[in-house]
Amino acid sequence: MIKLIPLIISFMLFSAAAQGSEWTATQGDVLSVKSSVQAEKLRLWCFGKIWPAKQLANRSWQGWIGIDLKTKPGIYPIEWSNGKQVIAKATLSVAKGEFRISHITVEKKMADFDAPTLKRIRSEATLLRATYTAPVDANPDIHMAGKPTEGIESTPFGAQRYVNGVARSPHSGIDIAAPAGTAIITPLAGKVLHVADMYLNGKTVAIGHGNGLVSVYSHMQSTDVKQGQWIQTHQKIGEIGSTGRATGPHLHWGVRFHNARVNPETLL
Nearer to Zn ion, 136 or 159 (CB): 159
Comparing CB distances to Zn ion, the nearer of 124 and 175 is 175
Nearest approach, Cβ of residue 175 and Zn ion (Å): 4
**Contacts with Zn ion, residue ranges (CB under 5 A):** 175, 252
In the complex, least distance from residue 144 CB atom to Zn ion, rounded to whole angstroms: 17
Measure the CA–CA gap between 153 and 234, rounded to whole angstroms.
Answer: 20
Among 200, 154, 151, CA closest to 174: 154
**Amino acid present at 127:** L
Closest to Zn ion by CB, 171 vs 191, is 171
Distance CA(230)–CA(181), nearest Å, equals 23
Q: How far is the CB of 174 from Zn ion (least distance, A)?
A: 7
- What is the nearest approach in angstroms of Zn ion to the Cβ of residue 173? 5
Residue type (1 letter), 180: A
Give the residue at shortest CB distance from Zn ion. 252
Distance linking the first and last C-alpha atoms of the chain: 53
Any idea what DSSP says for residue 241?
B
C-beta of 29 vs 175, nearer to Zn ion: 175
Cβ pair 263, 157 in contact under 8 A:
yes
